[in-house]
Amino acid sequence: MRVRYAETDQMGVVYHANYLIWMEVGRVEYFRAAGIRYRDMEEHDGIRLAVVEANCRYIAPAHYDDEVIIRTSIEEANKRSVRLNYHMREAESDRKLAEGFTRHFFLSHDMRPAKLPEKYWPLFGVS
């Protein structure tokens, strides 16, 4: 993705909270690349992923118009929760910008803890 001007602060660098938004972009695109739309998980299966923990370590600043690569992977998952890792790098130089993780609980449509439907186990690495 390319850094938009609105994502920068007065110092001309990406405002720190935007990295959490980029993690969400990475998560949604990770699922999409695996052939699953997160929206379909919600609408068809009633499963939501509630963020229960988020962490981001800032390493180097990103600036307006930089192209940023977000690499997303599942670190661990079970039938009740998943932890995803994110690595954000500047595309041209491969400079590491930030890294972090999010932990999610699976919830039902009524926001109660739920088990991940079996059809999603392969995507999440659950056995």
**Average pLDDT score over residue span 18-45:** 94
User: What pLDDT shows up at residue 96?
Assistant: 98
**Average pLDDT score over residue span 88-107:** 98
Enzyme catalytic residues: 9
Distances (CA, A) of 121 to 2, 6, 18, 45: 32, 38, 30, 13
User: What pLDDT shows up at residue 127?
Assistant: 82
Give all domains of the chain, ordered by start, each with its CATH number: 5-124 (3.10.129.10)
Contact 59, 98 (CB under 8 A): yes
pLDDT digits (tens, 9 = 90+) for 52-76: 999 999 999 999 999 999 999 999 9
Listed as own residue / partner, the contacts of 114-119 with beta carbons closer than 8 Å and 24 or more positions apart are: 114/46, 114/47, 115/79, 115/80, 116/47, 116/77, 116/79, 116/80, 116/82, 117/45, 117/47
**Average pLDDT score over residue span 89-106:** 98
User: What pLDDT shows up at residue 104?
Assistant: 98
